[in-house]
Amino acid sequence: MRRWHRFSVPLGAVALVFAVTGVAYAVNEPDPSDPAFLSPVSADGIGGQRLAQALAARGVQVERETRTSDALVSAQEGDATLFVPVPRVVHPDYLAMLRLLPPSTRIVLVDPARQALDDASIPLTPRGRRWAARAVPPGCAVREARSAGPAAALRQRYEGEGVHCYGTGLVHLSWQRADVVVIGASDPFRNDRIGEHGNSALATGLLADHPRVVWLDLHKLEPPPGVTDEPGSPDGVPPSLGTDPRGGSGDGEGEGEGDGSRGGEGDGTGSDGSSSGGSTGSSASNVDDENPLWDAFPPWFWALLVQLALAVVLVALWRARRLGPPVTEPLPVTVRSAETVYGRGRLYRRAKARGPTADILRAAARDRLAQLLTPTPGVSLVDAVAAATGRDPEQIEGLLDGPTPESDEELRRLQSDLDALVEAVRRAR
């Protein structure tokens, strides 16, 4: 068992270090579903208020939209930059509409996953994600990257068409009719990272190419468009935002907020295009079915819970005497009982364990007295000894349940008194 502990304890310590590191990393990693994540009105570390202020200082108008339909309508007017910090929560139907935006609109996507790129039909593929963002030189001829210099843009790498910068962490390409920028790290846009390296220059340069920035502040899955897909209109208006062939207006019709709290069906609106508060679509229902327990406590609570569970498991393994049933083994040598007694006594004496020693002596005396007297029910052992020997019951109780000896001399005296008491009962019997 000791040999097993030699391997299990170091391995458990290493596993604990890795577990604590992983939990700490998960806690410190920004959560895109957090309403503060890259929000232009959030001053938190993961927010984007500093970036919005830097854009305003350069004369760029920041338009905050909480619905993708409103953001697409505003970006459709042209001469603007559509900034999408969390592409994975945008409905696939809306991602497919990005190709209909005019050439005067730039689209900036932050860390899009493979599914989001496939839904938007952008010819890029994620490859080789890093543990954390790394600051590297741009290494390309893109004007904004060249002006910014080294920036923390290398985390998620992308392969495919376009001009690749920052070790393929940023890709600039002309796609369909729009100008698209895909960056695989959120660090250059965050309040707590924008002041490092050339992050501020890169973030403002990417978003300040036009006089307007349409900032999509969306963090939860949204319902699908109210009008199903249909051929685009000649003026390039996204299909579900144009005229409803059933007679209603499709401008944001039946679409809910980012949290999916409003209706998601086109037939749930009135003639003025406003939502009637009817039932939501299937996607909105799936969002509402999320377990609220995860949001009831902060992330550090769950991290602490995981670490406590790991600590309990490691302590249980460390304190375990055996992992299976006891196995009988023959003794390698025969040890005389007297040697065992003497050895145990020396250990007690070295540890100065007078209290446990006195308890053992008193317990042995009680057992011998009980065997000699066999007291009847209702009669205590002290009363039975007093009746047999004629001694004072308080004196007997002091011997059997008295205070702990303070010195070795008191311990030896207690042993002699207990032996004398047992001998007196034996003579009386």
Rounded to 10°, the helix 408-428/354-373 angle is: 0
Beta-carbon count within 10 A of 206 CB:
24
Strand 212-216, strand 61-65: pairing: parallel
Alpha-carbon torsion angle 379, 385, 388, 390, nearest 10: -110
In angstroms, the CA 425 to CA 390 distance is 10
Residue 71 lies in a domain: yes
pLDDT recorded at residue 258: 38
**E strands of 93-154, at which residues?**
105-110, 124-127, 134-136, 151-154
pLDDT recorded at residue 341: 81
Provide the domain count of the chain.
3
Domain extent for 16: 2-23+301-319
Mean of pLDDT values over 261-265: 34
Q: What pLDDT, in 10s, does the model give residues 186-240?
A: 999 999 889 999 999 999 999 998 999 999 999 888 888 864 444 444 444 444 4
Residue 411 lies in a domain: yes
Say how many CA atoms lie within 13 Å of 314 toward its Cβ. 18
182 lies in the same domain as 104: yes
198 lies in the same domain as 311: no
Instruction: Tell me which DSSP letter residue 363 carries.
Output: H
pLDDT interval class at 249 (50, 70, 90) = very low
Strand 157-160, strand 163-165: pairing: unpaired
Residue 222's SS3 state is coil
Residue 343 lies in a domain: yes
**Phi, psi angles (nearest 5°) of residue 158:** -130, 145
Prediction pTM value: 0.54
305 lies in the same domain as 346: no
Contact assessment for residue 136 and residue 188, using Cβ atoms and an 8 Å cutoff: no
241 lies in the same domain as 351: no
Sequence-distant (6+) residues with CB within 8 A of 88 are: 32, 112, 113, 115, 116
Rg (CA), the chain: 39
Whether residue 242 is predicted with pLDDT greater than 70 in this model: the reply is no
Pure H helices in 188-249: 199-207
In angstroms, the CA 418 to CA 415 distance is 5
Q: What pLDDT, in 10s, does the model give residues 101-124?
A: 998 999 999 999 999 999 998 999
229 lies in the same domain as 97: yes
Residue 274 lies in a domain: no
Residue 6's SS3 state is helix
In angstroms, the CA 336 to CA 331 distance is 12
51 lies in the same domain as 13: no
